[in-house]
Amino acid sequence: MAVNEGHTVTFLTSGQIRPPFTVECPGFSAPSASFDGSACVTSGLLFQRDKFTVVFPVAGNFKLVCLVHSDMTGTIHVLDPSQSLPHDQAFYDREAQRESADLLRVEVTGPMNHHHHLENTVIAGHGDTVATGGGSDSFSLMRFSDPEITVHAGDTIEWTNDDPTAAHTITFGPEPQDLVDPSSNVTVDADGARHGVLNSPSDAVHSGFIQAAPQDRTGLAQTPSGVTRFRITFSRPGIYPYICSLHEVLGMKGSVVVLP
């Protein structure tokens, strides 16, 4: 892993629908695995400098996905030992750099999705899925739309994940060991949004993964809606710093100033 963005390395069997991250294959393999196409194999979350080694005992074409990012897919072509490789690693490195440049160029020059800003709302990350010559790719901006927002005691702020592929968290206080699930002091509102309450800047609350609904291999959502929204009600004045636990090192930080 070259950057501190959480991913999985997951190999699916032929025709298998991509499972949600919380389901796995089931079970994780670490730090290595063997895959012959007969059973799903997946790593756990991999971050910067983490490694996961896969051995392919048979020839074939094997689908590779990330369980966290719905548009992150690939294929490993395993040849018989008697066959020669069509390209060296330098060729694939150049192709990856070219596709990355094309993707960024489309995002910068193309139309952006603009959302009407509502009072006491924060967009937690922006993302788009675009088409390039290499196929379908995604672009993610790891930032909060309003890194510092000011409200009054008793107000509620809502964070919405605007990225169709990347998960984010809204984390006040120490990062929990379990990043996927919300902390125990989080409830669920009638409309499905998660909701926490902070009574002091020293309190802690964690949203869990806030992301779009998982998709099947046809591109259709497996559930009517994903957990894309998180709310916090601030009971008392103070300065409340927070982060995205997945992307803090990329600068995804913010603070809420609560006035009397």
Domain presence at residue 92: no
Query: Are 61 and 148 within one domain?
Result: no
Query: Are 52 and 155 within one domain?
Result: no
Domain presence at residue 91: no
Q: Please give the C-alpha separations between residue 18 and each of 15, 218, 234, in angstroms, as whole numbers.
A: 9, 10, 38
Query: Are 55 and 177 within one domain?
Result: no
Q: Tell me what the mean pLDDT of segment 206-215 comes to.
A: 76
pLDDT (0 to 100) of residue 215:
42
Query: Are 168 and 77 within one domain?
Result: no
pLDDT (0 to 100) of residue 153:
96
Specify the pTM. Answer: 0.60
Q: Is the pLDDT of residue 107 over 50?
A: no
Number of domains in the chain: 2
Query: Are 67 and 129 within one domain?
Result: no
At 188, the pLDDT band (50, 70, 90 cuts) reads very high
Domain presence at residue 96: no
At 112, the pLDDT band (50, 70, 90 cuts) reads very low
Domain presence at residue 244: yes
Residue numbers of the domain that contains 191: 121-259
Query: Are 29 and 142 within one domain?
Result: no
pLDDT (0 to 100) of residue 133:
52
Strand order of the β-sheet with 10-11 is 41-42, 10-11, 60-65, 73-78
Domain presence at residue 39: yes
Q: Is the pLDDT of residue 29 over 60?
A: yes
Query: Are 247 and 136 within one domain?
Result: yes
Q: How far from the centroid of its chain's Cα atoms is residue 106's Cα?
A: 21
Length of the chain: 260
| Residue that finishes a domain, picked among 65, 86, 107 | 86
- CA-based nearest residue to 164, from 211, 99, 209, 207: 211
Domain presence at residue 98: no
| Residue that finishes a domain, picked among 60, 86, 112 | 86
* Each residue's pLDDT tens digit, 225-251: 457 899 999 999 999 999 999 888 878
CB-based contacts of 163: which residues, under 8 Å, 6+ apart?
Answer: 125, 126, 127, 140, 141, 211, 212
